[in-house]
Amino acid sequence: MKTSIVLLLSLISQYSDVSCVEFIDCGSVDGKVTSIVVQDCGVSDDYCPLHIGKTASIDMKFTANVDSNKATVILTGIIPGIGPIQYLTEDGCSGKYNLKCPIKKGSQNEMKFDMQVPPVPGDMKIGILVELVDSNG
């Protein structure tokens, strides 16, 4: 299963915003993202305030379409004019992400993660690509 989503972030020097209800599924076949919630953000909010240097807590729910004994979490920042910068690659089954492994086909799953909001100069919009890769890649 390679479940990929993009969260769009708008970052400014001391303060930033993140869309809390909109996300783009990048063509997931082996899983379907059903919701994404950003801490301290209401469902009707267009943007969530995030402070640079602080931690953003994100909760993603998805339905698995395949069985998998493992899951790898990959976070990549997509910065205009620079391109993709990989933020982390970690074992999603380590307990850090609240995933219950093995993942079973048809199961409802929840992945939680914290992301340090990076310092960026000026007014900039960036994307965050979140990938969950199964044991078959």
- 20 or 26: which carries more pLDDT confidence? 26
Prediction pTM value = 0.73
CB atoms within 10 A of CB 100: 11
Collapsing DSSP to helix, strand or coil, 5 comes out as strand
Q: Name the burial class of residue 14, with classes exposed (0-12), middle (13-18) and buried (19+) by CB atoms within 10 angstroms of its CB.
A: exposed
User: Could you give the count of Cα atoms lying within 13 Å of 106 in the half-sphere of its Cβ?
Assistant: 0
- 63 or 6: which carries more pLDDT confidence? 63
Q: For the chain, report the end-to-end CA distance as a whole number of angstroms.
A: 7
Q: What is the per-residue pLDDT across 24-59, written as a single tens digit (0 to 9) for each? A: 777 788 888 888 877 766 666 655 666 677 787 888
Q: Domains, the chain, ranges and CATH? A: 29-133 (2.60.40.770)
Which of 26, 19, 22, 25 is CA-nearest to residue 56?
A: 19
Q: What is the per-residue pLDDT across 61-106, written as a single tens digit (0 to 9) for each? A: 889 999 999 999 888 877 778 888 888 899 999 999 999 999 999 9
